[in-house]
Amino acid sequence: MKHYVITGGAGFIGSNLIRNLLQQGEELTITCIDKLDDFYSVAIKEQHIQEFKKSKQFRFLRIDIDTATVSALEELILEPVDVIIHLAAKTGVRPSLSNPLAYQQTNIRGTQLMLDFSRAKKCHQFIFASSSSVYGENKNFPWKETEPLLPISPYAMTKLSGEMLGHIYHHIYGLRFIALRFFTVYGPGQRPDLAIHKFVKNILEEKSISFFGKGASSRDYTYIDDIVQGIKAAIAYTNSGFEIINLGNNKSIVLHKLVAEIEEVLKKNATIHYLPEQPGEVHSTFADITKAKDLLGYQPKMKLKDGLQLFYDWYVTNRDLLNS
């Protein structure tokens, strides 16, 4: 029976991954580690994992990786661990500008903790959630994993540091470390601070939405189910010991086009409020997913409009909780 330890499992990506793993019917156990940070509503995170608590295959540990120790984790997790999927992190570019030390504490120190825990448990497979933000302002689109990296925010720097920590542990200790660079993940369960969620909420409430700059920025929006399939493929991957792999949609959508698609789904028009460009934010993202296809058999399937419809349906169903 496989034992997966998933950090950040009560969050957007983590909860969707756990749901998929539990539904596939395999013999496995999942230990979910999450501190239920109040960056956004704890009630939303608690709802994410409520259904899992009915399963004997699931265990939840409320642990803060900022301050936890390896020995404390070992006391709570006695069983052997087959795979660690490290999704827990302080997220967001703009908040990282105002409190960079907090991002270093969680994203670097927390990753260090989980790597040391993997050594203590003799776990040989480590999946790390990295970010497209590590590329910085690079206009050589689409971005390949071999591009030079020049992060322009504290958040991006911490994600690049996590990748390099993984390389050290692979090189010295033989840990198989796979860093997955996620590109703007969206879908049911999406965090309230992310653009699609904010746009849908404000348009429905007839409030203006903010465009930073002239709305010409673009993002490679990747649906959550496609990301989950990529993570699962990385869990099963054993052909090499260290890899950095883009998980994107290989399509970059200009902000104006995204809002037009949302308007069509909601059947309501947006009111746009223009603001200056924000420091730390890259202008565009665009993933080359050739490596993911070759190594993981990764093939994103969700069309943007269909994904937006699924997010909208989820939002309407959970609107009272989300707005409480």
pLDDT over threshold 80, residue 324: no
pLDDT over threshold 90, residue 99: yes
How much is the pLDDT for 278? 83
d(CA 86, CA 130): 9
- φ and ψ at residue 297, rounded to 5 degrees: 65, 25
Task: With residue 208 as reference, give the H or E element that holds it.
Answer: strand 208-212
Output the six-digit token pair for 5. Answer: 């330890």
* Structural domains present in the chain: 2-186+221-250+286-300 (3.40.50.720)
10-40 confidence digits (pLDDT tens): 999 999 999 999 998 889 999 999 999 988 8
Rg (CA), the chain: 19
Residues 244-250, mean pLDDT to the nearest whole number = 98
State the catalytic residue, choosing from 4, 103, 135, 155: 155
Residues 176-196, mean pLDDT to the nearest whole number = 96
d(CA 134, CA 309): 30
83-86 sheet: strands from edge to edge: 58-62, 28-34, 2-7, 83-86, 125-131, 176-182, 242-247
pLDDT-wise least confident of 117-121, 187-191, 241-245, 288-292: 187-191
155 included as an active-site residue: yes
pTM (two decimals): 0.96
Helix (H, G, I), strand (E, B) or coil at 4: strand
Q: In the structure, what pLDDT confidence band is assigned to residue 314 with cuts at 50, 70 and 90?
A: very high
| DSSP assigned state of 109 | I
